[in-house]
Amino acid sequence: MAERVIFHVDANSAFLSWTAAYRVKILGDSEDLRDIPSVVAGDKASRHSIILAKSVPAKRFGVRTGEPLFQALEKCPNLKVVQPDYHLYVQASRQFVSLLREFSPEVEQYSIDEAWVDMTGTRRLFGAPRAAAELLRQRVWEELGFTVNVGVSSNKLLAKMAGDFEKPNRVHTLFPEEMAEKFWPLGVRELFSIGPATEQKLLRIGIRTIGDLAAADLGLLRRYLGKQGETLWHFANGRGAENLTPVQPENKGYGNSVTTPRDVTDRQEAHRVLLSLCETVGMRLRKDGKNGRCMTVHLRTGEFVHFSHQAQMPSATNGTEELYRAACQVFDEAWDTVTPLRQLGVQVTRLSEEPYQQFDLFSGVSPAQQAKRLRLNETVDALRDRFGEDIIRRAKFTADPAGHMAGGLSRDRRTGVTKPVPPEF
């Protein structure tokens, strides 16, 4: 039986790399964002502007992923800021995964920019594991225009740990026989799934390295951390060999949220935000042929306190009007009318593919009217998909045309200002 070989492939600073590659390869820009201090972040005027990705030159100024944009600009006043473009990222991710499948059909996508690849039994096709990883890394660069780290091992856990070693654009191995040299000397915080709180608990009982954790008494860890302690002990000993799951589970819910430019203190303003969110969520539901029965509204106050409320809808639906009506009802039940809100979100769950909606005698809407609304929604979706979101908007947004569809994509991409992503990015 062939020795098991697993790759973990991770795009380096994906959002910035994909933006840079698109601008250089497709738009023909002479300036490469990866060669200058640059970041991907939200609008400078927005309160939710945080660093989503950074270039290596930006990192040299101390810019960190996740920090507020204003802090990054204090460190590097000449920092070039580009807004995120999630449509571009989805396209780049699909092409990334498609290339991985040329090496093996067994690909499990872990996130938008990283995946595991089961390379067991491919030695005759691509050579030894490290040589195959180098070939994969080179092909991603030559064909897609961005760099990746490839971790190579005999299971998913160790492959991911290897992929997180020195970056960018590297291949690293971490087979069981290499653990004593490469793995166990690392600080315990470096172990997959350990956060700051767990790190502090482990430090309090003298566990400072992954090797300390691997050699610790399992009974002590169970008493101190419960089942998590046993799981971490297995991880520290390099055991995380579950099989890849190439088929991703279906989406269990569709949601979207937005941090508002200023605190929302007015019910009508809140309803407008909810409508803008239902527009984008409804489009996604209809595109995937899904309907939902449960509406949840998520709220975050000006003091960063989060709370939510939900209710069942009369029938499964993907109609923007029905979603909006349900969201407003849930919101009105949840909000005290005085607490300022800085973030609102909607989520639709209990999904189905029912091709019909239950007719409600008390709604005042006939089946013919429901069918007409569905056709209207689908027509609006098609127009926005072809000509950009601003081709049509509701009258409620006359005073704020820019906010009629909240969350998600770069407005430039959505409105068709820039060129569409071609089939071969």
pLDDT 10s digits, 23-43: 998 888 999 999 999 999 876
**Distance of alpha carbon 218 from its chain centroid, rounded?**
35
C-alpha span between 238 and 257 (Å, rounded)? 38
**Band of residue 245 on the pLDDT scale cut at 50, 70, 90:** low
Check pLDDT > 60 for residue 216.
Answer: yes
- Give me the pLDDT at residue 367, please: 61
Please give the residue that has the higher pLDDT: either 255 or 363. Answer: 255
C-alpha span between 133 and 8 (Å, rounded)? 10
Any idea which of 237-251, 292-306, 378-392, 399-413 has the lowest mean pLDDT?
399-413
**Band of residue 352 on the pLDDT scale cut at 50, 70, 90:** confident
**Ordered structural domains, the chain, with CATH:** 1-183+238-249 (3.30.70.270), 184-236 (1.10.150.20), 256-414 (3.30.1490.100)
Which of 112-121, 260-269, 387-396 is the most confident on average?
A: 112-121
Check pLDDT > 90 for residue 96.
Answer: yes
CA distances from 249 to 107, 109, 318, 397 (A): 14, 11, 20, 36
**Active-site residue list:** 114
- Give me the pLDDT at residue 248, please: 56
Check pLDDT > 60 for residue 323.
Answer: yes
Q: Are strands 80-82 and 38-41 parallel, antiparallel or unpaired?
A: parallel
CA geometry: angle 106, 108, 111, nearest 5 deg: 155
Mean pLDDT of the chain: 84
Instruction: State mean pLDDT over 155-162.
Output: 93
Which one-letter DSSP state was computed for residue 353? Answer: -
Check pLDDT > 70 for residue 411.
Answer: no
Q: Dihedral (C-alpha) 184, 190, 196, 198: value to the nearest 10 degrees?
A: -40
Please give the residue that has the higher pLDDT: either 384 or 301. Answer: 301
Check pLDDT > 80 for residue 85.
Answer: yes
